[in-house]
Amino acid sequence: MTTEDAGRNPVDSRSRRIVFVCHCLLNANSKVEGLAQYAGVHPLITQLAALGIGIIQMPCAEMGSCGMSRWGQTREQYENVAFRGLCARLSDETLAQVHEYRRCGYEILGVVGVDGSPTCGVANSASGHWGGEYAPAEWAEVVSSVESAPLPGVHIEALFERLEPLGIRFFAIDESVEGHHVDEVIRGLTATE
Ligand code: SF4
């Protein structure tokens, strides 16, 4: 028995391994209408559960600020002061949980985001300068101007600032590719450093 194990209940079977995931990986219903590629829970979650890894669902900042009738928006639209403030507050709560679990000997395997999202992208996020009144005649042109920028989404950026200095690693599901990078994410989370 190690010093760390001393005092622990031997019949307690928790793994003490935890991953933080973006909200919609456990609840596709939070996504912008028309964008859900699975009914409820992403296949990544099933695999994490089978491995005995605890899963913490972070709040959906878009749902919390713009509700379920929101349009798909770009990073530039979400880079406003109010949304950044919301993401900072949500990230502070995540940081507090990380500190508490680590203080008590739990292992934080990482954070999993959703690439392409202007809010939860890790390697890239939807980017484009649009906004204003909906104009059907110009809509196709506006939508086609959106591109993928090699920047994290606004919520993930706030998490990076707080968690990367602590050595927390970030991974992402990418729904634009076959398999969504699930295998890579699992390998990364479970790799011993
Ligand atoms: S904001 Fe993040 S958690 Fe919410 S639907 Fe978009 S990717 Fe998922």
Q: Is 61 in the pocket of ligand 1 (CB under 6 A)?
A: yes
What is the predicted pLDDT for the residue at 141?
85
Q: Name the nearest CA neighbour of 112 among 18, 14, 5, 1.
A: 18
Strand positions, DSSP E, 22-169? 54-57, 107-114, 125-127, 147-149
Pocket test for ligand 1, best of 70, 114, 115, 154 (most atoms within 8 A of CB): 114
Using the mean position of ligand 1's atoms as its centre, give its distance from the Cα of residue 58 in Å: 10
Tell me, what amino acid is at 165?
Answer: P
Pocket test for ligand 1, best of 38, 56, 62 (most atoms within 8 A of CB): 62
pTM score, whole prediction: 0.94
With 60 as the cut, is the pLDDT of residue 171 above it? yes
- Ranges of each domain in the chain: 17-190
Query: Residue 59 CA: which ligand 1 atom is closest?
Result: 3
Question: Across residues 107-129, what is the average pLDDT?
Answer: 97
pLDDT in tens, 50-80: 999 999 999 999 999 999 999 999 999 999 9
Q: Is 119 in the pocket of ligand 1 (CB under 6 A)?
A: yes
Pocket test for ligand 1, best of 20, 21, 24 (most atoms within 8 A of CB): 24
With 90 as the cut, is the pLDDT of residue 136 above it? no
Angstrom distances, CA of residue 41 to CA of 20, 24, 28, 123, 176: 15, 8, 6, 22, 17
What residue has token string 């959906």?
60
pLDDT band at residue 132 under the 50/70/90 scheme: confident
What is the predicted pLDDT for the residue at 3?
57
